[in-house]
Amino acid sequence: MRMYICLQPLRSGFIKGYRPLIGIDGCHLKRAYPGLGKDGNNNIYPIARAIVEVENKDTWCWFLECLKKDLGDVCEGGGWTFMSDRQKDLLEAFELQVPTVEKRYCVRHIWASLKLQFSGSTFKELFWNATRATTLVDFEVAMESIKFLSEDAYVYLDNIPAKHWSRHAFSSDCKSNMLLNNVCETFNAVIRDARDKPILTQMEWIRRYMMKRHNEKWEAIKKMDGKLMSYVTKFFERIERDVRHCIVQVSRGDSYEVELNGKRTCTCYHGS
């Protein structure tokens, strides 16, 4: 009825070197649960997967319990983040199995529900401004604008704690500003050809795909120059122009004040 797989090399690699962020989702048609992270180059890193008989709270609890056993104590302490599409059964399973971890909700799914009642480019722009806000002030400005347009839309969003969907309220432990659960959805799309096969054949197809993919990533990394991943290098190149205009003042020890265009922000994202 159920099968869970977490390969030892993937488990060890994730524990030793990856950011504490796990995306969890289900392929509803064939009921495959994947749990995925991101590697140092911001690529998908599959951790574990399972086949179950039906998607409900019981099977989600079973999957999370198996995942906890494989990851050890990491899910019990602080600093870990799980991202999901906000499925009711999965949220209940989170509270039972991993109550102490930070939970993030895929904002694309929040918008999909919101736009059923409050559509239009203005609502969409303000909603995404609220999700991407890195300071409390910017978040409140976006929310007040939404409230001006519709009290109901404001109440709908206000009932979802900001720590689950707005960057300004995210914990800095995770070291990721990810708003979308697209790591799982991308993986689900890739394995589409395997999902109509018998379970053992399906699992072997996924295993071989992951082996081939990891080897391609390994060969690419061996050709890398310097200490930074290519994604990080490109990111730094994009922000280089802004950095040139920063004014840096030492505070004490390893603490600095950085000013850009007259604005200062702190590492807790609540500065203005």
Same domain, 131 and 81: no
Same domain, 90 and 102: yes
Strand 81-84 relative to strand 21-24: parallel, antiparallel, unpaired?
Answer: parallel
How far apart, in Å, are the Cα atoms of 164 and each of 38, 104, 108, 125?
A: 19, 4, 13, 19
Same domain, 28 and 91: yes
- pLDDT at position 64, please? 92
Block means of pLDDT (10 residues each) for the chain, 272 residues, are 88 82 73 66 82 89 91 68 88 90 91 87 92 93 94 93 93 83 76 78 87 87 82 83 84 85 56 38
Same domain, 185 and 122: no
Sign of CA dihedral 174, 175, 177, 179: negative
What residue numbers bound the domain in which 160 lies?
A: 108-169
Same domain, 213 and 235: no
In a domain, 215, yes or no: yes
Same domain, 8 and 101: yes
- pLDDT at position 263, please? 62
- pLDDT at position 268, please? 47
Structurally, how many domains does the chain consist of?
A: 3
Which of 12, 95, 17, 76 lies closest to 48 in space, CA to CA?
12
User: Hey, what are 107's tokens?
Assistant: 């904002």
Same domain, 91 and 155: no
In a domain, 187, yes or no: yes
Same domain, 184 and 159: no
Sign of CA dihedral 239, 240, 241, 247: positive
Are 124 and 111 spatial neighbours (Cβ–Cβ below 8 Å)? Answer: yes
In a domain, 72, yes or no: yes
Same domain, 3 and 127: no
pLDDT tens per residue across span 66-95:
998 888 765 665 678 898 988 889 999 999
In a domain, 157, yes or no: yes
**pTM for the structure as a whole:** 0.78
- CA–CA separation, 34 and 51 (whole Å): 9
Tell me what percent of the chain is helix, strand and coil, each rounded to the nearest 5. Answer: 50, 15, 30
In a domain, 269, yes or no: no
- CA–CA separation, 38 and 17 (whole Å): 10
| CATH code of 195's domain | 3.30.420
Phi/psi at 40 (5° precision): -65, -15
Same domain, 41 and 151: no
Same domain, 120 and 243: no
Same domain, 193 and 96: yes
